[in-house]
Amino acid sequence: MKIIVCYKWVPDEQDIKIAADLKVDMSMAKWKISEYDKNAIEEAALQAENNAAEVTCLTFGTSKAKQSLKDALSRGPEKAYWVNDAKAENTDGFVTANILAAAIKKVGIPDLIFFGEGSEDSYGQQVGPRVAALLDIPALTFVTKTAVKDDAITTTRSIGNCTEDVTASFPAVVCMLPEINKPRIPSLKQVLKASKKPVEEIKLADLGLSDAELTVKNKVKSIQGFVMNRKNKLYQDGSSAEKVKALVSDLAKEGLA
């Protein structure tokens, strides 16, 4: 069984600052593998350990994403594919899916393709199922459990008001919810092994995509800090009981107590 797991290299939102003019400042941000994607990598690693799956990982990123390869490989995959292009700086679900699907076709469609439920930065929640559609294979999304048997995968999906078990024969795309597993913290040996694993850089030009396929669809007009419009009233005077009294009286004024 072959699995390709896709991940995105994202800025850590803890370090993203919003300036007074609401501009988003990422200059201090450390970058990391999107947390949701770590769940996908972990699930693939578990398949490697338990079902002898052959796991490779794939990322589309700028030259900076190079830093992610070692981390990704230390989490289990035996090989990394990296579509390295500055376009990753300004992309959308449409372009990203076109690129990933083309890259997957180029390296050979595996039995399973894993994704996280969305990327941590833009949380577009579409690349996985888009890739499935482009490859014309089923997409199993919001998955909390996987089980592989013969040439099929059975997943438990948790989709709001119900859970359902869906089985798909290979090949299929599976997108994981975070509760599916706890991503490992790579051990020293895993980290060392990672530095010896092969990395294959894929050039965008080799994917044979048209300009239209590489042009974002919706135009981003602005990305601005979210403004929280709240009263921010802190009760500071008096005893705890007095503070609580003041709070309840304010809630009463709002018709809530």
Partner 1 sequence: MAGIYIYSEEQPVTEQLLTAGKTLANSLNEKINVIDFSEQDSESFIKKGADHVLCLKSDHPWPESYAQIIADILKEKDPTVVLIGGTLRGKTTASIIAAKLQTGLVNNAFAIEGSGSVIETKRIMYSGIAVCTEELCHGSIVTIEPRTFDAAQDSDHQGDTENIDIQPEAKTITVGNVCPIVHQDNDIATAEKLVCVGRGLSDQNDMKLAEELAEKLHAQICCTRSVAEDYHWLTTDKYVGLSGAKVKPNLYISMGVSGQVQHVAGMRDSKVIVAVDTNENAPIFAAADYGIVGDLHEIIPLLTKELG
Partner 2 sequence: MSDEEKFDAIIIGAGPAGCACAYILAREGKNVLVIERGDCPGSKNVTGGRLYTYALELVEPGLYKDAALERQVVREQIMMLSEKQGITIDYYNENLEENTSIPQSFTVLRAKFDQWFADKAEEQGAMIASGIRVDDLLMENDKIVGVKAGEDEMYADIVIAADGVNSLMGQKAGLKEEWNGHEVGVGIKEIIELPQDVINNRFAVGQGEGAARMILGQTGGIQGGGFIYTNKTSVSVGMVVSPAELAKQDKSVADIYQDFKMHPAIQKLISDGTTAEYSAHLVPENGWNSVPKKLYRDGFLMVGDAAGFCINTGTIIRGIDLAIVSGVAAAKAILKESEQPGIQYMKNLEELSLVPTMKLFAGWPQITSIPRMVQKYPDMINETMDFMFKVDGKVPPKMTGALKNIMKSHVSLFELISDGWRGFRAI
Ligand X SMILES: Cc1cc2nc3c(=O)[nH]c(=O)nc-3n(C[C@H](O)[C@H](O)[C@H](O)COP(=O)(O)OP(=O)(O)OC[C@H]3O[C@@H](n4cnc5c(N)ncnc54)[C@H](O)[C@@H]3O)c2cc1C
Shortest spacing between CB 205 and ligand X, in angstroms? 33
| Residue 186: contacted member of partner 1, ligand X, partner 2, none (CB under 5 to 8 Å, by partner type) | partner 2
Q: Is 228 in the site for partner 2 (CB under 8 A)?
A: no
Q: Is 231 in the site for partner 2 (CB under 8 A)?
A: no
Cβ–Cβ under 8 Å, residues 174 and 114:
yes
Q: Is 250 in the site for ligand X (CB under 6 A)?
A: no
Short-list 9, 72, 84, 64, CA closest to 41: 72
CA 223, CA 12: separation in Å to the nearest integer? Answer: 16
| Residue 134: contacted member of partner 1, partner 2, ligand X, none (CB under 5 to 8 Å, by partner type) | partner 1
Q: Is 71 in the site for ligand X (CB under 6 A)?
A: no
For 130, the enclosing helix (H) or strand (E) is helix 127-135
When computed from its CA atoms, the radius of gyration of the chain, rounded to whole angstroms, is 22
Q: In this complex, which beta carbon is closest to partner 2, that of residue 21 or of residue 237?
A: 21
| Region 23-42 residues binding ligand X, contact defined as CB under 6 A | 35-36
CB count in 10 Å sphere of residue 132: 24
Cis peptide before 171 (omega within 30 of 0): yes
Short-list 42, 39, 76, 9, CA closest to 178: 39
Q: Name the amino acid, one letter, at 26.
A: M
Q: In this complex, which beta carbon is closest to partner 2, that of residue 188 or of residue 241?
A: 188
- Mark residues 71-110: x for contact with partner 1 by CB under 8 A, - for none: ---------------------xxx--x-------------
State which of residues 163, 192, 200, 238 lies at the interface with partner 1 (CB under 8 A): 163
Q: In this complex, which beta carbon is closest to partner 1, that of residue 50 or of residue 161?
A: 161
Q: End-to-end CA distance of the chain, in Å? A: 60
Provide CB contacts within 8 A for 144, sequence distance 6+. Answer: 156, 157, 158, 163, 176, 177, 179, 180
CA 31, CA 5: separation in Å to the nearest integer? Answer: 19
Shortest spacing between CB 235 and partner 2, in angstroms? 22
Q: In this complex, which beta carbon is closest to partner 1, that of residue 32 or of residue 84?
A: 32
State which of residues 120, 148, 180, 204 lies at the interface with ligand X (CB under 6 A): 120
CA 62, CA 69: separation in Å to the nearest integer? Answer: 12
Q: What is the DSSP letter of 159?
A: -
Shortest spacing between CB 5 and ligand X, in angstroms? 17
| Region 31-50 residues binding partner 2, contact defined as CB under 8 A | 32
- Mark residues 143-162: x for contact with partner 1 by CB under 8 A, - for none: ---------------xxxxx
Binding interface with ligand X (CB under 6 A): 35-36, 120
Binding interface with partner 2 (CB under 8 A): 17, 28, 30, 32, 71, 185-189, 191-192, 195
